[in-house]
Amino acid sequence: MSQADSSHNSPADEGANASSHSPAPAKPIQIKVVLLGEAAVGKSSLVLRFVNDEFQENKEPTIGAAFLTQKVRLDDSVLKLDIWDTAGQERFHSLAPMYYRNAQAAVVVYDITRASSLDRAKAWIKELQRQANPNIVIALVGNKLDLVAENDNEEEEISEDHEDNGGDGDGKTRQIATETARAYADELGLLFVETSAKSGQGVVEVFTEVAKKLDLSQIASAGRRGRPGQLNAGNVNVNVLGEGGLDTSDGSIRTKTDGCAC
């Protein structure tokens, strides 16, 4: 063998040399996200669509809370979203602070076919503004677009009988106009998105818009001290990495992953 041949590196050697000079992957920035809203508005369905890209009909209500994770890329950063999907039943209300405490973001969900659910969402938002981290990013999300008839005019006046019947919609008629909810969100400086967990419409947008508002440098520097991040507006690109997990934990509070999907 010639001297040139003997000095030639094998492909494995070249790969080892290349990897030795590659920068170590950045440690994911952990973001705590909490989902709040009345029972049966589709919180669990939104999370399952985002994390596993699936929709399941007729799921049992969440008991306590479900915990799911998903990694997303935001420009040159990787975020690990720790998502707490809380139960909507009133009997679990007192447990909510343990889930939204130290959260950097909250997604408050209502059902566009049930007027009462927006009132409940507003109550959650007031509670977050009063008790959660002062810089928490809040997104108001109107779910169940798929239940609204295609020819439904979003701008039509919502009839008084729908407003007065406690919001028990038939699952086909829009009871909360888009502009009504958007005006409320704009007034309080909230993010606003309408979604369909069933079709996936708007679901990724919810978490994209939340990510855009997070000051990642502030959150990263806070580290384990538990200090909330600041708001930051800017243009960023967010991509779901497809490495989402579905985690459950045992404890004093029962945790389920098959929350209500209705």
Looking at every residue in the chain, the average pLDDT score rounds to 77
Query: Domain containing 147: what range?
Result: 25-247
Residue 5 resides in a domain: no
Predicted local confidence at residue 249, as pLDDT:
34
Residue 14 resides in a domain: no
| CA-CA-CA-CA torsion sign (212, 218, 220, 223) | negative
* Over residues 94-118, mean pLDDT: 96
Residue 69: partners with Cβ closer than 8 Å, 6 or more residues away: 51, 80, 81, 82, 83, 244, 245, 246, 247
Q: What percent of the chain has pLDDT over 70?
A: 63
Higher pLDDT, 18 or 180: 180
Q: Which tokens is 238 given? A: 């967010």
- Could you report the per-residue pLDDT of 167-209, keeping only the tens digit for each? 444 446 999 999 999 999 999 999 999 999 999 999 999 999 9
Q: State the SS3 of 36-77.
A: EECCCCCHHHHHHHHHHCCCCCCCCCCCCEEEEEEEEEECCE
Residue 259 resides in a domain: no
Higher pLDDT, 126 or 149: 126
Predicted local confidence at residue 221, as pLDDT:
81
Predicted local confidence at residue 217, as pLDDT:
83
* Over residues 45-63, mean pLDDT: 84
- Could you report the per-residue pLDDT of 27-37, keeping only the tens digit for each? 899 999 999 99
The CATH number assigned to the domain holding 222 equals 3.40.50.300
Residue 218: partners with Cβ closer than 8 Å, 6 or more residues away: 227, 229, 230, 232
* Over residues 43-63, mean pLDDT: 85
DSSP string, the chain: --HHHHTPPPHHHHHHHHHHHSPPPPPPEEEEEEEEESTTSSHHHHHHHHHHS---SSPPPPSSEEEEEEEEEETTEEEEEEEEEE--SGGGGGGHHHHHTT-SEEEEEEETT-HHHHHHHHHHHHHHHHHS-TT-EEEEEEE-GGGS-TT--TTSPPPHHHHHTTT---SSS--S-HHHHHHHHHHHT-EEEE--TTT-TTHHHHHHHHHHTB-HHHHHHHGGG-PPPPB------EEE-S--EEE---SSS-B-S-----
Residue 140 resides in a domain: yes
Residue 188 resides in a domain: yes
- Whether pLDDT at 212 is above 80: yes
Predicted local confidence at residue 27, as pLDDT:
86
Residue with tokens 């007065």: 164
Predicted local confidence at residue 248, as pLDDT:
33
**Buried/exposed code over 133-159 (b: 16+ C-beta within 10 A; e: otherwise):** bebbbbbbbbbbbebbeeeeeeeeeee
Residue 256 resides in a domain: no
Residue 229 resides in a domain: yes
Residue 17 resides in a domain: no
Domain count, the chain: 1
